[in-house]
Amino acid sequence: MIEHRGYGASTPFAEQDTANLQYLSLENAIKDMVHFARDVELPFDNNRSSNAPQSPWVFVGASCTGALAAWIQKLAPGTFWAYHSSSGPVQAIYNFWHYYVPVQEGMPQDCRKAFEQISSQVDKVLGNGTATDVGRLKAMFQLEKLEYNDDFANAISSPLGGWQSTGSATDDAGFQAMCNSILGGGPAARSNLTAGGTGGVDVLTNYANWFKTQYYPEWEAEGSVGCFDTHNASSPFYRDWTANNTAHRPWMWQLCDEPFFYWPTGSAPEGVATIVPRAITPEYYQQQCDLFLPEQGNHTYGSDDGATDMQLNQLTGGWNLTNTTRLLWINGEFDPWRSTSVSSDFRPGGPLKSTPEAPALVMSGARHCEDMQIRNNVNPAVGEA
């Protein structure tokens, strides 16, 4: 296993500031992998006959490195013999509202309906309510100290991010407990629903009670909203540039710089139901780039200097990366990241058709990178893949 440059112990600098992060790029990551395969000195092979391309190396990557597998095949062919892309998000999308669609399809449908109602009601209050209405709504979740509505919308949507971390062999009891509480059957519920998961205000009240009693206490201090406040430029979240920071600065750099974007939003087209509020926009995330990565001399991040998702997709091929050689695509049916993979329902022309020469498999009922863990074989579709 090779650690990606800029992450973990592979960061070459004590501080991950804007100037130092310039060396973390897709181009350099591809060069790293090619260099390793060709030039690594293996202790059991004095004449390097085991190096690529003399021996057939297979590049296996999952999630972002799943996309890297595909991009190496396109941009630096001739070193690796074959490629395995698991849950590879190959299409950069600025307004990535599509993230939540597989979640909607995979989650219990009564819970889905409840979240769609919650989001609709929150949108109405944030969009058309008085300051008093908005204050009351935030207070329901014990988030009245959050000044900005987009921060509030993001905070109450954060529990849904746990969906991709569960799988066929993973206990998703926490997600189920959340749904049960919203639907009137959990310990945090204080009102019941009518049949079919309807009831608008009831599900909002139930969710707020669950959030306060079951989710919110996980944060460090009672009543603290610091972890949700993305507009505070002095937050340690932005100001901690050390290599062991907890804000995942290398990933944020790649989102802002390449730019991958990949920001899950609620900005679905009008008429399309969403399980998160529409106040979560791509601009909400883009403004964080400036706070994470302030200019240093002549150094800034790519999207601040005009780089776009269209340019990146033109370089990598994005959804149109179809002329491949010995590249295996595998995705999970209910993986949020399937929406930006070649198996996306939003890909022009539909999901890439699987062929013996270019297999593109979708594991029924599976989520993110499930083919990377043998224990997920409890799902026959994962075992078959």
Neighbours of 78 (CB within 10 A): 10
How far apart are alpha carbons 75 and 53 in whole angstroms? 16
| 123 close to 99: Cβ distance less than 8 angstroms | no
Whether 63 is catalytic is yes
- Residue 114: partners with Cβ closer than 8 Å, 6 or more residues away: 179, 182, 183, 193, 197, 203, 207
SS (H, E, C) 33-89: HHHHHHHCCCCCCCCCCCCCCCCCCEEEEECHHHHHHHHHHHHCCCCCCEEEEECCC
- Single out the residue of 285, 288, 280 nearest to residue 261, CA to CA: 285
Which residue among the candidates 151, 257, 309, 335 is catalytic per the annotation? 335
3-class SS at 328?
strand
Q: Phi-psi category of 215—alpha, beta or left, where left has phi over 0 and alpha has psi -120 to 50?
A: alpha
Which of 63, 85, 157, 339 is catalytic? The answer is: 63
Rounded (10°) angle between helices 109-128 and 149-157: 170
Tokens of residue 42, six digits = 């293996």
Active site residue 202: no
| Catalytic residue numbers, as ranges | 63, 335
